[in-house]
Amino acid sequence: MKLLITGGAGFIGSAVVRLAISRGYSVVNVDALTYASSLRNVEVVAEHPNYQFVQEDICNGTALLRTLKKFQPDTIMHLAAETHVDRSIDDPEKFIQTNVHGSFNLLEAARAYWQSNQCPETFRFHHISTDEVFGSLPNTPNVYFTEDTAYDPRSPYAASKASSDHLVRAWYETYGLPILVTNCSNNFRPLSAFQKSLFLPSLRLNALR
Ligand SMILES: NC(=O)c1ccc[n+]([C@@H]2O[C@H](COP(=O)([O-])OP(=O)(O)OC[C@H]3O[C@@H](n4cnc5c(N)ncnc54)[C@H](O)[C@@H]3O)[C@@H](O)[C@H]2O)c1
């Protein structure tokens, strides 16, 4: 199986790339290499015969479609995004550009690819989103977000991710594009970039991401 992973030089995307390669998948990593990325994250797979890297901005729809038709993936895993809440407060435009406009471009490229005779029958578009789109949980044990929780984004980052979730769902309802949307909670690791390196057990992680 061939995966096209956007944002595969970032924190989570690079872990997905490494895992996928270790499990025998072929991977095309599409990443614009913004400040949040590092090719060192994927150094261990860089020479692997099943791995290819394409430096591309998801805001460039023409280039995306060309890449999809060239590599003909079975699945797109869409992780590329502007991600830090604090940065979204200082500079929201970039978040709208990448998370909304970029996701729209990727959906349109995926739709054109899916409708072509080059796309496998089992094609899926997996959109990786965040629980931030549901707002904040009360400070009470055993209260969870579920699939039925109403959207309630509270930062430019969360609003831009909520927008992309709605676009992805609309591309399923309107065009039938086979999609999955997952809304994960915070991921962190020792010594990861920026705020992630400040994580301490006592911090409210929602405040950071
Ligand atoms: N880290 C978390 O705790 C967390 C939690 C929930 C959801 N998510 C979601 O998971 C995904 C990955 O998060 P992360 O923490 O790995 O992010 P990250 O900021 O570490 O990495 C994002 C990657 O996307 C790339 N990118 C940014 N703009 C791009 C563009 N216009 N075109 C192509 N590539 C671009 C960057 O170069 C970078 O490699 C995001 O969609 C995020 O919303 C993350």
**Pocket of ligand 1, candidates 16, 18, 34: which has the most ligand atoms within 8 Å of its Cβ, to mutate?**
34
Residues with CB under 6 A from ligand 1: 6-7, 9-13, 31-34, 36-37, 57-59, 79-83, 98, 102, 128, 130, 161, 184, 186-187, 209
Q: How far is CA 131 from CA 56, 134, 182, in A?
A: 27, 6, 9
**118-155: b (≥16 Cβ within 10 Å) or e:** ebeeebbbbbbbbbbbbbeeeeeeeeebeeeeeeebeb
Q: Which domain holds residue 67?
A: 2-207
Least confident of 66-70, 80-84, 113-117, 139-143: 139-143
* pLDDT at residue number 189: 73
pLDDT tier for residue 101 given thresholds of 50, 70 and 90: very high
99, 82 in Cβ contact below 8 A? yes
Number of structural domains, the chain? 1
CATH of the domain at 18: 3.40.50.720
pLDDT, tens digit, 9 for 90 and up, residues 16-57: 999 999 999 999 999 999 999 999 999 999 999 999 999 999
* pLDDT at residue number 194: 52
